[in-house]
Amino acid sequence: MAQIVNYFADDVEIIDGPFVVCQLPYGCGYRIEVELKGHHTTVLADYTIYQYLTDCGYPFRSLKKETMEKVVDFLNYHVKTKDIVNRRGTWVLPVLTKN
């Protein structure tokens, strides 16, 4: 199940990640963020992740929490199957990476 973090949260313990749903402030919806070692907050994902979501017809930002939970579960599944990997400290989709 996708983890939901608050936009202003620091030092979040990622339980089932690295991808999480970030709840944006002021009712602006939700977006995909990712844990990066050495950072005290979650951050925006690499462009290859957003490109992959676009190619698959998935949004990377939505007003619906349930939609973002499904997308995060989808991304975390691909981390477990090693389709998405941590390369030089950033989570990327290697088939869309030039180097």
Give the pTM.
0.88
- The tokens describing 97, both together, are 């990476």
pLDDT tens by residue, 1-21: 899 999 998 888 888 889 999
Answer whether residue 44 shows pLDDT above 80: yes
Cβ neighbors of 3 (< 8 A, separation 6 or more) are 14, 15, 16, 17, 20, 21, 72
Whole-angstrom distance, CA of residue 49 vs CA of residue 56: 11
Residue 98 has pLDDT above 60, yes or no: no
Q: Tokens 């992959």 belong to which residue?
A: 52
Higher pLDDT, 17 or 74: 74
The answer to whether the beta carbons of residues 76 and 16 sit under 8 Å apart is yes
pLDDT-derived band at 80 (thresholds 50, 70, 90) equals: very high
Percent of the chain having pLDDT more than 90?
A: 48
